[in-house]
Structure 1
Amino acid sequence: MNASGLIYLTANVLLSLAGTLALKWRATAHSDVASDKGRLAYLASMFLDPWVILSLGASVLAMLAWMSALERVELSRAFAFTALIYVLVPVSSWLLFSERITLLQVLGITLIVGGIVIAELGRG
């Protein structure tokens, strides 16, 4: 994998992670709107939240990074790399939001990391 492909893949994963975490943070902050005023008011408050708008921007940038990565990296290799999001989201949610990670989730995360390593070693 060339350096620019790795940079674009890393940008894709990190921007996806940032957008997901920002949405979770703001969804939690706006949860009182949902319970007090209903689903439509909740969606409106989320849509108008600057952090939510930034997270949507992060998603767009992540997609641009993905398209740029695909130009430089084989799809099977690029797609395996994006599996890191399934590792980073639970770990980040545990660190930032005090969400619980079960032993089975730790096992799953370990299997994902192992799978990525095995897939890369198999490429020779």
Structure 2
Amino acid sequence: MALIDWKPEYEVGVPAVDAEHRAMIEMINDVYRELEGTPDPDTIEHALGEIHSGIAAHFALEEQMMRRVGWREYEEHKANHEELLDDMRDLMDVHAANPEQGREELQRRLADWFTVHFASFDARLHAAFPDSHHH
């Protein structure tokens, strides 16, 4: 079962960003599927590392776009990115120290990071690029 299904409202309307969001959801769903079985802690650790670096790269792209258009919520959005990445690192530490507890935490929080971030910040970003569909 997929943890997060792609929804049309997740679309920002900027093809590069949408493609990365889809890829991230795919990665999260893969980890979630692993977690449902009896995963090898190293496999999960590796997957988390991939997600973390993928997300960090993606956030850098979003931040670059926001700076380019002089996005007024830039600082707030960037702070949200930092918080999300810190949160992920904390979870990676929990998992490394105690895979069983880490697994439960992960299952609970993986979806939250994304749905909360997409629903709030990226939706507002979307509104800032109204004609991006036509380029």
The TM-score, its normalising length taken from structure 1, stands at 0.32
Q: Which of the two has greater helix per residue?
A: 1
Query: Which entry has the higher C-alpha Rg, 1 or 2?
Result: 1
